[in-house]
Homo-oligomer: A and B are copies of this chain.
Amino acid sequence: MPLSEFSLIQRFFTKQQITNPSTRLGIGDDCALLSIPEGFELAITTDTMVENVHFFADADPELLGHKLLAVNLSDLAAMGAKPVSVTLALTLPKVDENWLAAFASGFLTLAERYSVDLIGGDTTSGPLTLTVQALGLVPKGRALLRSSANPGDFIYMTGALGDAGLGLKIKQGYNCEHPQAALTRFNRPEPQVEAGLALSGIATACIDLSDGLAGDLGHILQQSRVGACLDWDALPLSTAVQAYINDTGDWVMPLTAGDDYELCFTVSPEQAKHLTIPATKIGIIESQAGLRLCKSSVIQPLEVKSFEHFS
């Protein structure tokens, strides 16, 4: 018996109980309804993943479900917003129950970790395309923007740089001695939700590292109308990434590879002592436009590149 649109969504995506206190009405009516507590604003983001563009047909559906939600939660984290709910637009070429069960499991397991309710969606037939819209709450006036970095601010990032990029290199054939950590970082990115919340009211600007440090920091520089100098020796590189650089000479990779989903943020020197999360100081905001890298005591301009579609 063919599954109807309704019973399909019903079966795989409504097992989840409503757990977030902001959800007034979930799946099943013309719209979902959300209560916004007084003193908060709503943060909204959307991301799409397309087969053969963002992932291959044989991608593990459980990891795909996780990643699709993770990249959206990462955008909320970069605003200092607490995730509350998501909608999911699924375009599927066919009903593959095993695929759907695994995809839903990856998606909902991460959702449950943050009490994120799936409050709506649309299921259509067509080439595999997955779109999430995520909603989060941030105290009024305390959202972390890209546009408010100031000259003299320190630049920090959470976690390590380039491991997801190394994971991609390994998938493309690079022979790494201990590949597992890098592969996990590439396959299963973790949104820095707690870090984003801890930075609200402390960081002056923030962005998540989805397209590479140089390009993403470049957005902060452009929108804040400032420049920056990064300190190569301060970059948090794992042993595996350092070994990759020694091995290949490709020191640009950690600066341009995407998918780390760490947060890059700026903090005034006075506020820096109030940081309560583990983070590494990697540079400084300057009034002179452009991005520079201080490497082996030489300051060189760093051309801003990030992943672009249609190019």
Q: A: which residues have CB within 8 A of B?
A: 2-6, 8, 24-25, 28-36, 38, 41-54, 75-76, 78-79, 81, 85, 87, 89, 91-92, 94-95, 119-127, 129, 131, 133, 135-136, 138, 140, 143, 145-147, 206-208, 223, 308-311
Contact = CB atoms under 8 A, between A and B. Distances in A.
A129 B131 CA distance: 10
Oligomer: number of copies:
2
Interface centre among A25, A131, A223, A308 (most CB of B within 10 A): A131
A126 B127 contact: yes
Given A29-B145, A35-B41, A48-B131, 19 more contacts: A4-B310, A8-B310, A25-B143, A30-B79, A31-B81, A32-B43, A33-B43, A34-B42, A38-B38, A44-B85, A44-B87, A44-B119, A44-B120, A46-B89, A46-B131, A50-B91, A50-B125, A53-B125, A126-B127
Contacts of A41: 24, 33-36
A136 B54 CA distance: 31
A179 B76 CA distance: 49
A267 to B, nearest CB: 17
A196 to B, nearest CB: 9
Nearest to A42: B34
A32 to B, nearest CB: 5
Contacts of A28: 146, 223
B136 A46 contact: no
B311 A4 contact: yes
Contact of A124 (B34, B44, B54): B54
Contact of A91 (B25, B87, B129, B308): B129
A91 B49 CA distance: 9
A-B pairs with lowest CB-CB distance, top 7: A50-B126, A127-B127, A30-B78, A31-B43, A36-B36, A34-B42, A133-B133
B31 A311 contact: no
Nearest to A54: B124
A6 B41 CA distance: 26
B4 A146 contact: no
A125 B44 contact: no
Nearest to A24: B41
A26 to B, nearest CB: 10
A133 B34 CA distance: 14
Contacts of A122: 46-48, 131
B50 A32 contact: no
A53 to B, nearest CB: 5
30 contacts: A2-B310, A2-B311, A3-B310, A3-B311, A29-B79, A29-B146, A30-B45, A30-B78, A30-B208, A32-B44, A33-B138, A36-B36, A36-B41, A38-B38, A44-B120, A46-B120, A46-B121, A46-B122, A47-B122, A48-B91, A48-B131, A50-B125, A51-B126, A52-B126, A53-B125, A87-B133, A123-B309, A124-B309, A125-B310, A129-B129
